Amino acid sequence: MAAERIATVNRETGETKVILELAIDGKGRCQASTGIGMLDHLIDQIARHGLFDIGVEAKGDLEVGQHHTLEDVAICLGQAFSQALEERRGIVRMGHAVVPMDEALAMVAVDISGRGYASIEAPLEARDISGLDTDLIRHFLETFATAANLTLHARLLSGVNDHHKVEALFKALAKALDAATMIDERRGGEVPSTKGTI
């Protein structure tokens, strides 16, 4: 029986306190309480559509702004994926998804490569979506990719409504992560790299 791929990350700074739990082989359950409703919703999309179980509780200096809380949640989520995957043995490693949300269409591709990198093309028109500063969407994705030690390419291919565009992006991220973290039994537990390590 394969080991459970789970992680718990605690992060406490002068600005935030975050506790995040992740089970990669989950059922899509989410309990998110960050103080930012739209961020909770987007984390729920990752859990639900990637079939990950995610629990996160964050308390931050929201009176100053959303940046610190969102950034530290992204760091914790990325670190949790990295820790839960350990040596990356047997995983597919690369995954991609193209996801529509009404008129919006998003593409995300990931490579769990051990190298944190993000390329994001996601133009948004509004200054906020349901109270979330839209400038922070790119920052969340970049921070997550760096903390998870994975390569992330995200593109908005079309769309008019910013809420639809962002939700399509996060659903595509979920599906791409699900595909990349799956175990390929043909690998026999080997690390999917010619170097023998990721």
Fill in the DSSP letter of residue 185: G
Is residue 196 in a domain?
no
Q: How confident is the model at residue 1, as a pLDDT? A: 39
Q: Can you give the residue range of the structural domain that contains 141?
A: 6-187
Alpha-carbon gap, residue 24 to 34, rounded angstroms: 21
Alpha-carbon gap, residue 158 to 156, rounded angstroms: 6
Q: What is the CATH number of the domain that holds 69?
A: 3.30.230.40
Is residue 159 in a domain?
yes
* Tally of domains within the chain: 1
Reading the block at residue 92, the tokens are 């597919």
The amino acid occupying position 89 is R
Alpha-carbon gap, residue 89 to 87, rounded angstroms: 5
Q: How confident is the model at residue 2, as a pLDDT? A: 57
Q: How confident is the model at residue 152, as a pLDDT? A: 98
pTM: 0.95
Instruction: Give 10-residue mean pLDDT values along the chain (198 residues).
Output: 85 98 98 98 98 98 96 98 95 97 98 97 94 96 98 98 98 98 90 77
Cβ-contact 56, 140 below 8 angstroms: no
Is residue 192 in a domain?
no
